[in-house]
A and B are shown apart, each in its own frame.
Chain A
Amino acid sequence: MGALRFIREGLSGRRGLYFAIISVLMIAAPLIFWKLDMPFAANAMLLCLMFSIMAMAWNLLEGYTGQLSFGHAVFFGVGAYTTMILMLYYGITPWVGIFAGGLVAALVGLALGVPLFRLKSHWFALATIAVGEIFKLIFISWDYVGGSAGLQSPIVPESQKLYYLQYAGSYVYVYLALGFLGLELLVMYPLVRSRIGYYLQAIREDEDAAMSLGINPFKYKMVAMFFSALFTGIGGGIYTVRFRFVDPFAVFDLISVSVYITIAGILGGIYSFVGPIVGSFVFVPISEYVRVYVVSRFPRFYGLHVFVLGAILLIISLLAPEGIMGWLEKKGLLGGGEEER
């Protein structure tokens, strides 16, 4: 099959070696954190992986298709709520619920794509912000989903831990997130290397030129939206099983969800396939560390951590305006000539 061939090619040479080393490190890390009793590190890694999944999904729309979304909290929130509701109201295992969350998010994405893709560039971006806020308001006033109080899943007995995916700490969830990131790579890599990936880039570069080459921009934007929302929704499902609590203010938050996904993606480099993963693994630890350290050290300066985080982002963006991967490529640190890592 074509997909398998793309994956084989993608893993050939030095890239395959990097991939193998990073995979081994990722699989070993939670065990080490567990042995050394480092729950904070394990939780930070889980957040890195969740943002990796979502930033990569987001980047299919931004980096490949040129559609800048500040509304991915919608898909994150819908995925989180779907997993929670299926578990809480219907007793459905999150092993199914997480996939269902992704699927419902993808369908919401398609429904939103119909009006949103009538808008171009900054108007599209503005509308995604509005949609995110609208979803927050709907969920705040919707009693079935717990309104502004949100929904919490109860602690289950030992015998049902696996069925309800309920474990102490973040260690197990790191492996869950790793599995989903692996699945995402298996879907996304062949996708961007196929005809669809080329068509998305043509749309990003110039829609009129793309149409002259036989490309229907709306159709392919919808394809990008489907996969983008799907994996962002899966990110939401992982959040639900890990934190056992969803509320509209947290999951539909413009800054700590939508904008953080955007920052992770841009920081890593939107023109690189793995850029958003790199960006997440740089941004999330900095953000977590700054939050915990600055707040505990300077408890009287409320909001100082946001200021410090902003300053760090400013410095990185000045040093590497094309993102970390773009910067590495310019410095020739990626082995040269290897396009789209």
Chain B
Amino acid sequence: MSLLEVRDVVKRFGGLVAVNGVSFSLEEGERVGLIGPNGAGKTTLFNLISGYYRPDRGRIIFEGEDITGRRPYEITALGIGRTFQIVRPLSNLTVLDNVAIGALLRHPDVDEARERAEEVLMMTGLHEKRNMRAGSLNLPEKKRLELSRALATEPKLLLLDEVVAGLNPSEVDELLEVLRRINEAGVTILMVEHVMRAVMNISERIVVMDYGVKIAEGTPEEIANDPRVIEAYLGREEF
């Protein structure tokens, strides 16, 4: 049984079909990249899986259970954590409180949740900033906060929407190392990423979308050499 199965999902916004019949599945413990040009429907797909949008057609199955149309907080409780591409820090709270609120889901005791949050921040490298207002972090730090918070909910599946964007090359390597460790601890990762070096480096498998449709799927090498993918990114050569 797959951990997550997306079956033929469709999402329309007025006349625009943002996601048009996409199917794929994730096995437990995998690291999968989701790539595609701007407007391909990647973030929409994330919003469908995490319950922020309801699909117009198709089903989403998590651990054998149909979660189509479930509310976002129910889906988080079932074990799917997510980050937001456009960061959403709880700005007036401290970094530690942001993460502790995530940890409260599995640890209702406040002290326990705060301890758990400290551990998570240690791992994601934000521990030194734990007493700062979340709103005062810079963008790469806010992205790390997104990751920390999602991680604190102790997900089985982590949906990462461009957490690497905006980091310098050494920071990218650092964060990829963190993601590897998270994955080794048993968390399945699906990540949307524009930084090709990062996504090629960490993904075991890559799904490519363009204009709301899945156009390719395979290992990083297969994807890098796939003519349809090259065409989607660079355009067709006209002779």
Residues of B within 8 A of A205 (CB): 89-93
B-side contacts of A201, CB under 8 Å: 90, 92-93, 97, 101
Determine if A209 and B88 form an interchain contact, defined as CB atoms under 8 angstroms apart.
yes
Minimal beta-carbon separation of B43 from chain A (angstroms): 13
A293–B198 CA distance with the chains assembled, in angstroms: 72
| Alpha-carbon separation in the docked complex, A115 to B10 (Å) | 31
**Interface status of B233 (Cβ within 8 A of chain A):** no
Complex: how many Å from CA A193 to CA B109?
Answer: 11
| A219: min CB distance to chain B, Å | 9
Q: Cβ of A296 < 8 Å from any Cβ of B?
A: no
The reply to whether A208 and B109 contact each other, CB–CB distance below 8 Å, is: no
Chain A residue nearest in CB terms to B135: A205
Do B76 and A198 touch (CB < 8 A)?
Answer: no
Asked if B24 CB lies within 8 Å of chain A CBs, one says no
Q: B97 — nearest CB in chain A belongs to which residue?
A: A198
Across the interface, name the chain A residue whose C-beta is closest to B80.
A212
Interface residues contributed by chain A, number (CB under 8 Å)? 21
Within 8 A of B (CB), among A185-235: 193-195, 198-199, 201-202, 205-206, 208-217
> Is there a chain B Cβ closer than 8 Å to A76's Cβ?
no
Q: Say yes or no for B188: interface residue by CB 8 A criterion.
A: no
A209 and B71 contact, CB distance less than 8 A = no
Contact B101 A213 (CB under 8 A): yes
Give the tally of cross-chain contacts (CB within 8 A): 80
Q: How far is the CB of A275 from chain B (nearest CB, A)?
A: 14
Q: B175 CB to closest chain A CB, in angstroms?
A: 20
The answer to whether A271 and B92 have CB atoms under 8 Å apart is: yes
Inter-subunit contact A198/B72 (CB<8 Å): no
Report yes or no: B71 in contact with A206, Cβ–Cβ below 8 A: no
A214:B88 contact, CB within 8 angstroms: no
CA–CA, A214 to B73, complex, Å?
4
Q: Contact between A213 and B76 (Cβ–Cβ < 8 Å)?
A: yes
User: Contacts A202-B90, A206-B90, A271-B92: A212 and B110 contacting too (C-beta < 8 A)?
Assistant: no
Please report which residues of chain B, range 82-107, place their CB below 8 angstroms from some CB of chain A when the two chains form the complex: 82, 84, 88-93, 97, 100-102, 104-105
Sorting the interface of chain B by its residue count into under 10, 10 to 19, 20 to 34 or 35 or more gives 20 to 34
- Binary contact readout B134-169 vs A (1 if CB under 8 angstroms, 0 otherwise): 000000000000000110110000000000000000
User: Which residue from B72, B101, B113 sits with its C-beta under 8 Å from A202?
Assistant: B101
Q: Are the CB atoms of A212 and B150 closer together than 8 Å?
A: yes
A13 within 8 A of B: no
A2 to B84: give the CA distance in the assembly, Å.
34
A212 and B81 contact, CB distance less than 8 A: yes
The verdict on B52 contacting chain A, using a C-beta distance below 8 Å, is yes
Judge whether A214 and B77 touch: CB under 8 Å.
Answer: yes
Query: What's the nearest-Cβ distance from chain B to residue A335, in Å?
Result: 17
- Asked if A214 and B153 make an inter-chain contact with CB atoms under 8 angstroms apart, the answer reads yes
Quick check: A199 and B88 within 8 Å, CB to CB? no
Contact check, B84 vs A199: say whether CB atoms are below 8 A apart.
Answer: no
State in angstroms the CA–CA spacing of A206 and B84 once bound together.
12
When the two chains form their complex, are residues A194 and B76 in contact, meaning their CB atoms are under 8 A apart?
no
Q: Report if B15 contacts A (CB, 8 A).
A: no
Of B93, B101, B102, most buried by chain A (CB within 10 Å of CB) is: B101
Indicate if B50 sits at the interface (CB-CB under 8 A). Answer: yes
Residue pair B109, A212 in contact (C-beta under 8 Å): no
B residues near A, CB below 8 A?
Answer: 50, 52, 71-73, 76-77, 81-82, 84, 88-93, 97, 100-102, 104-105, 108-110, 113, 149-150, 152-153
